[in-house]
Chains A and B, each alone.
Chain A
Amino acid sequence: MADKIILEVARYSPERDAKPSFQSYEVPVYKEWVVLDALNYIKDQVDGSLTYRWSCRMGICGSCGMMVNGEPKLTCATFLSSYAHNGSKVRVEPLRYFPVVRDLVTELSDFLVKLTKVKPWLIRHDEPPLTQGEFLQTPDQLDRYKQFSMCINCTLCYAACPVVGLDPVFVGPAAIALAQRYNMDSRDQGTEERTAVLAHPEGIWGCTFVGECTRVCPKHVDPAGAIQQYKLKAALDWVKSFVMPGEHKSKDVRSEAAND
């Protein structure tokens, strides 16, 4: 069937270029080819200097996010044929709002700093010895945070979020969703520590609820939902601190109850 399609790929070489430009490649289209297959075809057969990240080619490692025709996509999970209308072109660019290192490779260390900032690990005040067995957690309790634990750190949601673009210090959707993943975990006791970091204009209050993060997320994490839940909770806590001063420490009841 080998139809052809034009792939317009953003190229940027820091040694040579002041800003990115597009280069066009003609690639064959097969039914089962994804955009990543086309990039691999170019790299293997045409131009070995094309630079991009990929690894698992099964939508789980989170390396291969790019803008495909202006939409943030996992290129390993985006069929080329869905763009292959007669003579059509497909535009591939690095994820929006990130600094570009080269071609399609974005700079990620800032994202990792943000991820680390929300303390994404299980925080416990007590550490019972391993011999006491597992922390009990019912399937329902698991279900409460499960969705937020599905994030593959692909950063598509950052590329979809105009707040990220306008305000570089904004912690961003995935990091907040990850914080919420631990907050909602019945085994965790660190909600307060995390709220201290996140109830902040650079944290949840930076979000103006565009909702695009949730729409583009390939793993249905719903970061926008996580942020709204977080806001509601922070607001209620704030109100509570007026109504019942000194009482707002009772937040951890939930996690204690789960560990009887």
Chain B
Amino acid sequence: MEASSHDVLLVGGGGAGLRAAIAAAEVNLKLSIAVVSKVYPMRSHTVSAEGGAAGVAKSDDSLDEHCYDTISGGDWLCDQDAVEAFVKEAPQELLQLERWGCPWSREPDGHIAVRAFGGMKKRRTWFAADKTGFHMLHTLFQTTLKYPPITRYDEWFVTKLLVDDGRVQGVVAIELMSGKIRAITAKAVILCTGGCGRVFPFTTNANIKNGDGMALAYRAGAPLKDMEFVQYHPTGLPFTGILITEAARAEGGYMLNKDGYRYLQDYNLGTPQPKPVLRSMELGPRDRLSQAFVKEDQKGRTIQTPYGPIVHLDLRHLGEKLINAKLPFVRELCQKYQNIDPVRELIPVRPVVHYMMGGVSTDIDGATPLAGLYAAGEVACVSINGANRLGSNSLPECLVFGARAGRAAAAYAATQQVPDGKVFAQANDERRRLETQFLFRTGGHERIATIREEMQKTVETSAGIYREHASLAKATHQLRELQRRFGDISLDDHSRTFNTELESALELGFMLDVAESIVQCALHRTESRGAHQRTDYPARDDNKFLAHSIVSRNFDGSSRVEYLPVKITRWAPGERVYGETSKEQSKSTPIRQAV
């Protein structure tokens, strides 16, 4: 079997992957670094992030306040040592990106401009109009072009991690263009494969976000963490699920029910003001806003459409000038995909699956419990997002922990030998598996799309915004049944060249594993916290569940869930308060406490 070998190998060329590649290259320009990505790096989903990236920048702000907002926003499920490191390094990373040419929006005097964002008490979100992720990703990608040690494997699909001797030594990947199945060995592997929104039917996530990295790690024996915490974003366009960024609300947009009433005031989120107030009303955290929508729907105060119930986002009072200057992409998306103009019309929106708080369990340097395997970005759970991520924390997370993982992996690689022949036997087995089970397979009865849709429906009805025991238990069985049916899929495409059907089938396999881990974690956490709301256990239970769910795979393929206490440094668990009262709350923190 053909193979190539590198020091550090990155799976994924999004924000986290490219940042990690540069970090590793800067540790030592002599290292050989590989970026393997199933799409050209600038197509990665980081490109679609709109709103911005948080990092303390102005003199009225402080690191502690950013920590507090993040931790309370995460309903005290964040590891506070990780949050402190994150908050401290985020501004440096954003500044570094500026040095690489990122076109951040500016103040009239030429300094970086920052905007307000949901759940943040101070203005600290750096932005590049409303195409922040796009500009960050292209800046990073273009910057990587000047680093000779970085080799790219564009449009290579990773199917398996090679593990031998208790450590990860490379991957098996398919070159889509040619259909070649090859081992790419490395002394250290960093997973940066992004989230898994496509496990759900209605998501802001791109077609490539299938939880590949989570499943790869899980199958290789690295545990996943906090998989039950799935973020719904309150404002997605119906039908497509395209995101209308939170920046639209930060600039002053209103959420209106069918009577034109700002309904969030009924849900403990403050009283309506004409101008946006930080951490209040429309600028409350995403989980609360999405939950308010469900309640509003139950009261019959939403509008019914063929694509489910909706409410309205109103930007009309902001005026054309502001919308064009600060929210041009929002206007473009509404016009191109919804055929409405937000300058004059209300935008129909509904909650939509957006972000995965959970992921591959890592420490503060991105290292997983499995030697040689690192993870960063949305695929990882460090964890700084706890039970609910604050908007604009995840782009800087990709940078901070991407860089950390890159440096850590480079250091680890320096202590390791080049992988030996044993992994090639494994790689050959994998090639045979891909060929017999998929590529040359004949017969079979199930269409990929059918199983995918049923899986999405199962996960949505059991692990949606509100959950309860009965439906989660039922979903456990349904997913097992779907796994079985997946063994009987029929494939039309037997070509080696750019076989996207093979890719979809493998992605579906990954998603089924991820779906199972989500449902299992949700089933076992019998409390409500952040994005995980159990109707049968509506209260937060700090005695039992101030802990991360850790889900790993047993030898027989079943899963087990264990718990790992949350790391608390300076902020004792408190009540999450939004609206007016949040001001007093913030004064009393941080509280020093020994835990």
Q: Report A's interface with B, CB cutoff 8 A.
A: 13-15, 32, 43-45, 47-49, 51-63, 77, 101-103, 105, 107-109, 112, 115-116, 119-122, 127, 130, 133-139, 141-142, 145-146, 149-153, 178, 182, 185, 187-188
Contacts and interface: CB of A to CB of B under 8 A. Distances in A.
Contact of A55 (B103, B206, B239): B206
Nearest to A45: B449
Contacts of B151: none
A102 B495 contact: yes
B448 A137 contact: no
B261 interface: no
A185 B101 contact: yes
B333 A58 contact: yes
Contact of B43 (A57, A63, A115, A136): A63
Nearest to A219: B332
B534 interface: no
A151 B44 CA distance: 15
A119 B405 CA distance: 27
Nearest to A14: B497
B587 interface: no
B562 to A, nearest CB: 35
Given A44-B447, A63-B43, A32 B239 contact: yes
Contacts of B440: none
Contacts of A151: 138
A30 B448 CA distance: 23
A52 B498 CA distance: 9
Contact of B111 (A32, A116, A134): A134
B106 A137 contact: yes
Contact of A58 (B107, B143, B177, B240): B240
B498 A135 contact: no
Given A32-B240, A58-B337, A120-B145, A138 B47 contact: no
Given A49-B493, A49-B501, A59 B207 contact: no
Q: Which 10 A-B residue pairings sit nearest by Cβ, starting from the closest?
A: A136-B110, A44-B449, A122-B101, A48-B492, A49-B493, A61-B43, A48-B501, A55-B206, A56-B206, A120-B142
B428 interface: no
B242 interface: yes
A114 B276 CA distance: 46
A163 to B, nearest CB: 24
Q: Give chain A's interface secondary structure class.
A: loop
A9 to B, nearest CB: 14
A130 B92 contact: yes
Interface string B190-216: 000000000000000011100000000
Interface in B95-114: 95-96, 98-101, 103-112
Given A55-B208, A62-B43, A138 B106 contact: yes
B146 interface: yes
Contacts of B177: 101, 107
Interface in B222-248: 239-240, 242-243
A136 B208 contact: no
16 contacts: A32-B239, A43-B500, A43-B501, A48-B493, A51-B500, A55-B208, A60-B47, A61-B206, A77-B337, A102-B497, A112-B40, A142-B105, A178-B142, A182-B101, A185-B103, A187-B101
Given A77-B336, A102-B497, A136 B101 contact: no
B45 interface: yes
Of B109, B111, B131, B142, chain A has the most CB atoms within 10 Å of the CB of B142
Given A13-B495, A135-B99, A58 B48 contact: yes
B19 interface: no
Given A45-B447, A53-B39, A152-B42, 19 more contacts: A13-B495, A32-B240, A43-B500, A45-B449, A48-B447, A48-B501, A49-B492, A51-B499, A56-B47, A57-B240, A61-B44, A77-B336, A105-B498, A115-B145, A134-B104, A136-B109, A139-B108, A153-B40, A153-B42
A43 B96 CA distance: 43
Contacts of A139: 105-108
Nearest to A115: B145
Of A61, A63, A142, chain B has the most CB atoms within 10 Å of the CB of A61
Contacts of A149: 103, 135, 138
Contacts of A185: 101, 103
B177 to A, nearest CB: 6
Contacts of B101: 121-122, 182, 185, 187-188
Contact of B103 (A32, A54, A56, A145): A145
A60 B336 CA distance: 12
A133 B206 contact: no
A24 to B, nearest CB: 17
Contacts of A55: 39, 43, 45, 206-208
Interface in B485-502: 491-493, 495-501
Given A51-B498, A101-B177, A136-B111, A61 B48 contact: yes
A54 B207 contact: yes
B206 A57 contact: yes
Contacts of B134: 60, 152
A146 B103 contact: yes
Interface in B108-133: 108-112, 131
Interface string B43-70: 1110110000000000000000000000
A60 B111 contact: no
Interface in B544-580: none
